[in-house]
Amino acid sequence: MTTATETPKIDAKLVKELREKSGAPMGDCLKALQEAKGDMEDAFVVLRKRGMASAAKKASRSTNEGAVGTYIHAGGKIGVLVELNCESDFVARTEDFQELLRDIAMHIAAVDPRFVSREDVTEADIEREKEVYRAQAAASGKPANIIEKMLEGKLAKFYEEFCLLDQPFIKEQSQTISQLIASKVAKLGENISIRRFARFKVGAPDWTVATTKAAAEEASA
């Protein structure tokens, strides 16, 4: 029987399974499973939290290296270009980084985000969405104070739908693209950021080209 002060014994198969699911090092997976007392889902949450914390610490580091990835879908009907940055050319050439680049490009092809992050949404876009939500709510007869509270939830949904970093990852709906990147930051030890992407669809009347606000300011300087 394991007491509160004892470290629970973790089956090696569980460690391997969590390693394959999260991409985190074996040692980190073992510690997370021990902390979660062998519960796979709780251990995955532990790893994600550590990844986000690690990513936050490295977020100020400049990312001047990286690679451009592509993804072609539906028999050549949809194409994506995405620039993913990191701190060194060494990391940019690793299998983990290239896998992340492919996954993000594939996700963009499938989900069609319009912005990299919520910080890149313009004030004009936000005000336009708010006006639409206000009109919809007003038509239902709700009072003004309730409508304003509802706007927060509506905007959160808007960010999740149209901002790449806020979107649930197409291959793992329990984590966002931001959390997916954070897990790689924790594993590779470097800051990683999406700079820009473009998505084209044959026959569509328009296309999506999204750049971070910082990158746009650099280009116009």
Q: Rounded CA gap, 109 and 131, in Å?
A: 29
Q: Give me the phi and psi of 113, to 5 degrees please.
A: -70, 160
Tokens at residue 114, please?
């319009």
Q: Rounded CA gap, 22 and 105, in Å?
A: 19
pLDDT of res. 7: 64
pLDDT of res. 3: 46
pLDDT of res. 180: 93
Residue 138 lies in a domain: yes
Same domain flag for 94 and 48: no
Same domain flag for 55 and 67: no
pLDDT digits (tens, 9 = 90+) for 164-221: 999 999 999 989 999 999 989 988 889 999 999 999 999 988 889 999 988 888 877 6
- Report percent pLDDT > 90 for the chain: 43
Same domain flag for 42 and 130: no
More confidently predicted of 141 and 12: 12
Residue 39 lies in a domain: yes
Q: Rounded CA gap, 29 and 17, in Å?
A: 9
**Model confidence, pTM:** 0.73
Residue 23 lies in a domain: yes
Same domain flag for 207 and 170: yes
Find how far residue 200's CA is from the centre of its chain: 21
Q: How far is CA 42 from CA 36, 134, 139, 148, in A?
A: 6, 39, 43, 35
Residue 177 lies in a domain: yes
Residue 144 lies in a domain: yes
Query: Is the pLDDT reported for residue 1 higher than 50?
Result: no
pLDDT of res. 4: 47
Same domain flag for 56 and 139: no
Residue 142 lies in a domain: yes
Tokens 């999406």 correspond to: 194
Query: Is the pLDDT reported for residue 89 higher than 60?
Result: yes
- What integer is the mean pLDDT of 43-49? 78
Same domain flag for 144 and 190: no
Same domain flag for 98 and 188: yes
206: domain CATH number is: 3.30.479.20
**Of 40-49, 123-132, 183-192, which range is least confident?**
40-49
Residue 12 lies in a domain: yes
Number of domains comprising the chain: 3
pLDDT of res. 56: 63
Same domain flag for 151 and 127: yes
Query: Is the pLDDT reported for residue 147 higher than 80?
Result: no
pLDDT of res. 129: 87
pLDDT of res. 165: 96
Same domain flag for 96 and 56: no
Same domain flag for 67 and 115: yes
Query: Is the pLDDT reported for residue 160 higher than 90?
Result: yes
Same domain flag for 146 and 85: no
* Residue 197: partners with Cβ closer than 8 Å, 6 or more residues away: 80, 81, 82, 83, 104, 105, 108, 116, 164, 208, 209, 210
Same domain flag for 88 and 179: yes
pLDDT of res. 2: 46
Output the DSSP codes for 180-214. HHHHHHHHH-S--EEEEEEEEETT-S--EEEE-HH
- Find the domain containing 137 and state its range: 122-158
Q: What is the DSSP letter of 8?
A: P
Residue 114 lies in a domain: yes
30: domain CATH number is: 1.10.8.10
